[in-house]
Amino acid sequence: MPDTTPSSTSQQASHWTASTTRQSFLDFFASKEHTVVPSGPVFPQDDPTLLFTNAGMNQFKDVFLGSGSRGYSRAVDSQKCIRVQGKHNDLEEVGVDTYHHTFFEMLGNWSFGDYFKAETISWAWELLTEVWGLPKDRIWVTVFDGDSSDGLEPDHEARRLWLESTDIDPSHVLDFDKTDNFWEMGPTGPCGPCTEIHIDRGGADTDPSDGADREHGVNAGNERFIELWNLVFIQYNRQDDGSLVPLPAQHVDTGMGFERVLSVLQGCHSNYDTDLFTPIFRSLEKQTGHSYAGGAGSAEKDVAFRVCADHVRAVTSALADGALPSNEGRGYVLRRLIRRASRYGLQILGMEEPFLFDLVPSVAAILGEAFPEIAKRVEHIQLVIRAEEESFRKTLQRGIVQFERLTSNLAPGSPLDGAQAYELYATYGFPEDLVSLMARERDLVLDATGWDAARKAHSDISRSTGSFQQVLTPEQMSGLKQTLSTYHELGPAATEGEALVAGLFQGGELDDRLVLDGSPFYPEGGGQVGDVGVINTPGGSFQVTATQKAGAIVVHLGKAAGDLAVGDTATCKVDTTARSCTRAHHTATHLLHAALRQVLGEHVTQQGSYVGPDRLRFDFSNPKGVTAEQIAEVERLVNAAVTRGSAVTTTLEKPAEAKARGVMALFGEKYGETVRVVAVGDDSIELCGGTHVENSGQIGTFVIQQERAIQAGVRRIEAVVGAGAIEHLQEQRRCLETAARALKVQPAELPERIAALQADMKLARKQAKQTSGVDQAKVFAGLKDELQEQGGVDWAVLDLPELTADGLRDLGDRARGHSPNLALALFGRQDQSVPFLILCQGKALDAGLGAGDLARALKPILGGGGGGKPTSAQGQGLAQDKVPTASDQIREAFGNALGS
């Protein structure tokens, strides 16, 4: 195998860089008449069974199920993937070893009913040994040795092809059972035998025959013999009863872990030592002042480096495709990744301030060429990650306060309830080892059994909330063909027509589901809701309340009545009123997007949308708030486009050609071989598969109802058009007139009248404070009495529960003028928090005291946060019961600095 000495490694890496290796894989199969297909989004838009794209085959799943097709029969790609769950993908293992990742690339080549085993095996051998130059004597392969329970013979064909079409050592072809060498999509559906390619990474002093050792060789779960490539031959369909039937067309699905093969080509024993990671490490080293040891370094800081590098790659790729952190589903996974990396940076690398966001440019430099969407969205990604980091630091402090509450009444040696302690992880991101360490520091023992039980219960809940309901199961999809959709046709065919019933599914948690061989109903997608309406047959009817897609199959959801059967002729009729309103809102969304980019800048990109008959919702990236004047200008531009009554035209184009001429494409969307380009005169042009009006004048009045932030860097506009816009304006006018009558002024006079009332209220509050508030003069007199002189400095630490943050600031202002040489700490109360103020001036500064440092040092005690300049600092703690401890710490600091 490649020599792994430093000089050799450098020489290999200089040739087989990540970029050249990836491109060589694509070029090799392109030379074999494969179509190079772009990576799909890292989270699938049209597969509700997956949180994230976790394999290269995901974007071709409909082809394997027989419900979709492509305009090519051979494909090759490098697919972005994220895996964060499953028995081989425990998140807590990522970073601890050198080969687990959350984000990775899957290189793959595909055959859809074209070539099969012979070409797959010979091409794999050619690429590995002739193009990449891997040593043949270090390569091992496994083949399927049959399964009597399924009535399957060993894969004699694959074994024969390895021995006849390659010059592999015959002793390196091993037989394994279906656990290792039979691939299945799920309990039912397409499946077949596979042959796996492994490489021996042992040194020159190892015995090459070790690979055949079932205890220590191939498939024994060690780092010497690693799997490089899995070649799957999809030739059966698993039925509901567990039996296997041959597929009418045989397919090939291969997958190679890019990070893994790159480490081999670059002579690295760790995936993290390749040039997919080293630039990130260099950036992290500059930030932290620590160095990454490389290899299999197990020191805490090396683990922290790997965690940070891996997680920022995963989060960056997901955010670039349009995902956002949240408290559920894939958003919750992203939040966990950011928090886990942030905690490692804080706890192990000493990064007190947000730092992950600064690694994004390095990630973009590495991956941006292969995945341009990452390079284009660096600013947005940084903004979102930084906001999450800042939020987590606040959460972390609250977690420390919660830990104090859990343990404050426990005697030394007591157990710390595992279920309650686990909430520190679920809510605040504290891992088990950290909680256990904090418990030991208090002479407590973490209840590990309770923790594990709580973790299992939480995982069950997370799985149920994070998984999506499948509209059709693989077995239900089996045998169904791609639906012929007519919703884009002109005239009546767009909303009505005849078709044959292809499938009817009833029972379970979902509504009844009806599948036709053709349909005018638009299935939910691209933010647009699915059509509603009715489908009639000679013996029954089906009320359609929603329309969705399962691969290329249109599924009508609703309620069946009467006698419906497969093969019946059905008459379809879409609710044209709902369709018309939805079309108007969809075209208005395009005009809104264009107007936002014109007013705010071309950095604006769509983050999500809802387009229905009742309203539209548009989420977009923008780093700061949108002013009222900007909202008004956006609204004016959209209405101006509506007034122009421009024709809405649709053309079919190739994606690359459309993008080359400036057509707007949406991040995170997966486009086919041809795309629909929707243009609204000269005002807007986008890729879109939805339904639209014929000219912009059909939209009617456009009104923005509200604009607000939904997340750092992401804002939301809700708007209505047509009759809904008129209703909204009339309601606004009624509210305005009601308010004017209540204040006895004309509507135009309302702003002035409200401003006057606000001024009156402010004055009243000030007067009330002066007459009934704390006597600041008396408090100040007490402060002066408490001041004691030490080292030429007047100092005091006072707990003043009667004062709020405003009161502390007022008292501090008075104290500044009282003594030029002052060291003062004041603690107050406000609701459930602890406002505090620290002042240092004159000789106190000369003695080495700094208000900002003192304030920051209170965070571990009080929680919350605080900081400022050497002369003045303030903050807000969360633990009121810890004020005496905080006061003692400040007194000790003052005393040590000032001496006697």
In this structure, are residues 116 and 137 in contact, taking their beta carbons and an 8 Å threshold?
no
| CB-based contact 75:57 (threshold 8 Å) | no
Residue 741 pLDDT: 93
Q: Are 827 and 805 in contact (CB under 8 A)?
A: no
Cα separation, 392 vs 399, in Å, equals 10
- CA 366 to chain CA mean position, Å: 19
Specify burial of residue 327 (Cβ count, 10 A radius: 0-12, 13-18, 19+).
Answer: exposed
Series of mean pLDDT values for 10-residue runs along the chain (900 residues): 40 75 96 93 72 82 79 93 67 76 94 95 96 93 92 93 95 92 82 94 74 76 86 88 85 94 91 94 94 75 93 95 84 88 88 94 96 92 92 79 82 88 79 77 87 76 48 80 89 89 84 93 93 94 93 91 92 95 96 95 89 95 91 96 95 82 69 84 91 95 94 91 95 93 91 91 71 70 89 91 88 88 93 92 88 89 86 91 92 84
pLDDT of residue 8: 41
3-state DSSP helix/strand/coil percent for the chain, to nearest 5? 45, 25, 30
At which residue do the structure tokens 């000089």 appear? Answer: 7
The residue among 43, 75, 60, 86 whose CA lies nearest residue 667 is 43
d(CA 661, CA 686): 11
463 burial (CB, 10 Å; 0-12 / 13-18 / 19+) is exposed
C-beta of residue 425 within 8 angstroms of C-beta of residue 432: yes
CA distances from 728 to 292, 636, 718, 732 (A): 60, 17, 12, 6
Phi then psi dihedrals of residue 551, to 5 deg? 65, -125
| C-alpha closest to that of 309 among 384, 238, 247, 259 | 259
Mapped onto helix, strand or coil, the DSSP state of residue 874 is strand
Residue 751: Cβ-neighbour burial (10 angstroms; 0-12, 13-18, 19+): exposed
Q: Are 613 and 689 in contact (CB under 8 A)?
A: no
| Span between the terminal Cα atoms of the chain, in Å | 72
Contact predicate 115/136, CB 8 Å: no
Q: Is 122 helix (H, G, I), strand (E, B) or coil?
A: helix
Q: Which helix (H) or strand (E) holds 731?
A: helix 722-743
**pLDDT for residue 70:** 87
What pLDDT, on a 0 to 100 scale, did the predictor assign at position 13?
A: 47
| CA-closest candidate to residue 576, choices 496, 489, 648, 692 | 496
The whole-number pLDDT of residue 469 equals: 55
The pLDDT score that the predictor gives to residue 463 is 47
Q: What angle do CA 197, 198, 202 make, to 5 degrees?
A: 160
DSSP 897: H
Cβ atoms of 53 and 79 closer than 8 Å = yes
266: tokens are 């670059």
3-class DSSP assignment, residue 36: strand
Q: Cα dist. 829→832, 833, 881 in Å? A: 7, 6, 11
CA–CA gap between residue 176 and residue 145 (Å, rounded): 5
Cα gap 357→403, rounded to integer Å:
28
Q: Which of 212, 244, 242, 241 lies closest to 225, judged by CA?
A: 212
Beta bridge partners of 253: 110, 232
What is the reported pLDDT for 462? Answer: 47
Cα dist from 783 to 101, 696, 769, 888, whole Å: 58, 71, 21, 17
- By residue count, the chain amounts to 900
A 10 A CB-CB count for 872 gives 17
Q: Which residues pair with 227 in a beta bridge?
A: 198
Token pair in block for residue 9: 């490694």
Cα–Cα dist 88/730, whole Å: 59
CA distance 542 to 815: 79
Which amino acid is located at 427 in the chain?
Answer: T
The token pair that represents 434 in the structure block: 């950290």
Pairing of strands 822-827, 793-799: parallel
3-state secondary structure at position 501: strand
